[in-house]
Amino acid sequence: MDELDGARAAIPEGVRIAAAWSWRLLLLVGVFVVLWRAGSAISQELLVVAVAVLFNALLSPAVNWLDDRGVHRTLAVVLVLLGGLALIGGVLTVVVRTLVRGFAGLRGQLLSSLEHLHRWLLDGPLNLSQQQLDRVFSGLPQALHLGGGVTATAVTTADAVLRLLAGALLALFTLFFLLRDGSRIWRFLVCVLVPRRARWRVHRAGCAGFSTLVAYVRATAAVAFIDGAGIGIGALVLGVPFPFVIAITVFLGAFVPYIGAVVTGGLAVLVALAANGIVPALIMLAVVVGVMQLEGHVLQPLLLGHAVRLHPLAVVLSVTAGFTIGGVGGAVLAVPVVATGNTIVRALRRKR
């Protein structure tokens, strides 16, 4: 025993602390790798369930409102889902019809604008060489002529259609039961998975996290609506083609904080440049910048400040990491996941 104590005493304290931390960190890394591989195997299903949870946070206040006024909860869920599906179907119908009617005429305007831009880059102040421009512009006309065929081929692929239908049905099925039985499912999971002495704290943290998620989704939807309406109205006043489609695109893009609305607003500027010329494009750019300033300095702090409680750097890093891991879906889910997790951790650390 004395020899063992002497051997321990011979090891510096810093080395012993580092060794203790090392095996714990290795254990955590091993658990993370196992969970990561398991999640990767069912990544599509997890993404569908995550989308259902987001829609649950968006629609649950409406279901609760109907439930509080005497409507049977199952009927309330059915009414809310039917109303949501009718709204989405109507918007998609208008978008598709608008694109089908206007794309043929817009294609000629795009080709003409690209030719004018090509000549300006050659003869203008930039004085670029023909060889440099040929690399960029050589495939654009063919892409405009073939884009519809490529899109139609991709959409009509049997495998893609089946996957899309299966994901939509799974999301709708999951959403229905989350809206109807979400609280009971949560209480069951807490009772089964959490020790008795920690159940109340975990239950309270989960409820706080879901409240944050509801507030985030509602505030983000409000911000996205204002962004889409502002840029869409600007496009309508300037005579930019597809103002309604631009508004819907900006609305959807705004669900990715700080980045999505900027990217979709840039697309609106490009459409204005291609179809209307340089001056309307500059005015469209001023409209986009003005809407972004309104979002960043008024809407985000006013509506999202209390819902998210995250530093802007954390938001941008979360979106970047989410896009790297899961593409567009990961970018949309990154901030609500981080915001909800932040609230849950704060609630768990709070004293009883």
| Token pair recorded at residue 220 | 């983000």
Quote the CA–CA distance of 5 and 283 in Å, as a whole number.
78
Average pLDDT of span 28-37: 82
Q: Is the pLDDT assigned to residue 15 strictly greater than 70? A: yes
What pLDDT sits at residue 143?
Answer: 47
Q: What is the pLDDT of residues 5-14, one digit of tens each?
A: 555 666 777 7
Q: Is the pLDDT assigned to residue 90 strictly greater than 50? A: yes
Residue 279 CB contacts under 8 Å (≥ 6 apart), including other chains: none
Q: CB atoms < 10 A from the CB of 88, how many?
A: 10
Look up residue 94 and give its amino acid: V
Radius of gyration of the chain (CA): 26
- Percentage of the chain exceeding pLDDT 70: 73
Quote the CA–CA distance of 284 and 280 in Å, as a whole number.
6
Quote the CA–CA distance of 291 and 262 in Å, as a whole number.
10
What sign has the CA pseudo-torsion 90, 91, 94, 96?
negative
Which of the four pLDDT bands, split at 50, 70 and 90, describes residue 294? confident
Quote the CA–CA distance of 33 and 47 in Å, as a whole number.
19
What pLDDT sits at residue 239?
Answer: 84
